[in-house]
Amino acid sequence: MTILYIDSTYDISVGILDEKLGWKFLNTFSGQKASSVLQKETHKILDEFGLKITDLKAVVTVAGPGFYTGLRLSEGFADVLSFNGLKHFSFYSHTIPWLLDYEQGVWLTKAYRGEYFFHHWDSQSSKNELVLLKDLTSYLENLKEQKLFIHSDVAIDEHIKKSGFVFTSTKDLLGLSPNIIFNKVLKSSSKVESFYFRAPEDEFKANP
């Protein structure tokens, strides 16, 4: 089973997974307009491996957390591929540690508009919070005993970097352990709803 992987939560990441769910290819395209990259690079990668869209069995996308525009890009492309008979699976980037059996931790990312998104989980429950920049330092101070995760360096800013905390990248974990993660994603047989930081009407509202 050859699978296409797409993450458009920040930069565009495109990957090809082989039948054993190991990486045949994985690359991130930074600093380019997402809409001009995704389709072009996907077809280029498939050509390099002698594959056609019809050779793929499924597409797996990261469904957030993220912004409306970025998530709709990969979602829309995956929907087009679904018309060609590909199954579409998706998962959230903040669930990567959980999929790798980290029993508790905190995953964070910048959400722009002066806010930061935090996902907390343990063996009993989970919760999500948006934290204002003015409250960030004190909020992080309360997390000293926690294992902290980010998706990648581009998903945080200088305020988080200056905090002095050590973060584990879920993007790196995905690169190192695709078999474990994607086995569980595919066994779930599900496509989750896109997870936006805010509702679209709030996302595009002008700053006061």
- Please check whether residue 11 is in contact with residue 35, taking contact to mean a CB–CB distance below 8 angstroms: no
Q: What's the alpha-carbon Rg for the chain, to the nearest Å?
A: 17
Q: Is residue 208 part of a domain?
A: no
pLDDT given for residue 206 in this prediction: 63
Q: Which of 36-45, 66-75, 120-129 has the highest mean pLDDT?
A: 120-129
Q: Is residue 52 part of a domain?
A: yes
pLDDT given for residue 39 in this prediction: 87
pLDDT given for residue 32 in this prediction: 58
* Phi and psi angles of residue 165, each rounded to the nearest 5 degrees, phi first: -80, 155
pLDDT given for residue 84 in this prediction: 84
| Average pLDDT of the chain, as a whole number | 90
Question: How far is the C-alpha of 17 from the C-alpha of 2, rounded, in Å?
Answer: 6
Residues 63 and 141 in one domain: no
pLDDT given for residue 173 in this prediction: 97
Q: Residue 19 maps to which CATH number?
A: 3.30.420.40
Q: Which two tokens stand for residue 124?
A: 């009993």
Residue 57 lies in domain: 3-93+172-203
Q: Per-residue pLDDT for 200 more than 70? A: no
Q: Which two tokens stand for residue 156?
A: 């945080």
Question: How far is the C-alpha of 89 from the C-alpha of 74, rounded, in Å?
Answer: 12
Residues 31 and 106 in one domain: no
Give the position of tokens 């903040």: 94
Residues 81 and 159 in one domain: no
Question: How far is the C-alpha of 88 from the C-alpha of 110, rounded, in Å?
Answer: 27
**For residue range 127-160, what is the model confidence (pLDDT) as tens digits?**
999 999 999 999 999 998 889 999 988 888 888 8
* Phi and psi angles of residue 126, each rounded to the nearest 5 degrees, phi first: -150, 155
- Please check whether residue 78 is in contact with residue 84, taking contact to mean a CB–CB distance below 8 angstroms: no
pLDDT given for residue 95 in this prediction: 96
Question: How far is the C-alpha of 81 from the C-alpha of 88, rounded, in Å?
Answer: 8
Res. 171 pLDDT band, cuts 50 70 90: very high
Question: Residue 175 burial by CB count (10 A; 0-12/13-18/19+): exposed, middle or buried?
Answer: middle
How large is the average pLDDT for residues 70-87? 91
Residues 88 and 10 in one domain: yes
Q: Residue 166 maps to which CATH number?
A: 3.30.420
Helix (H) or strand (E) holding 185: helix 178-187
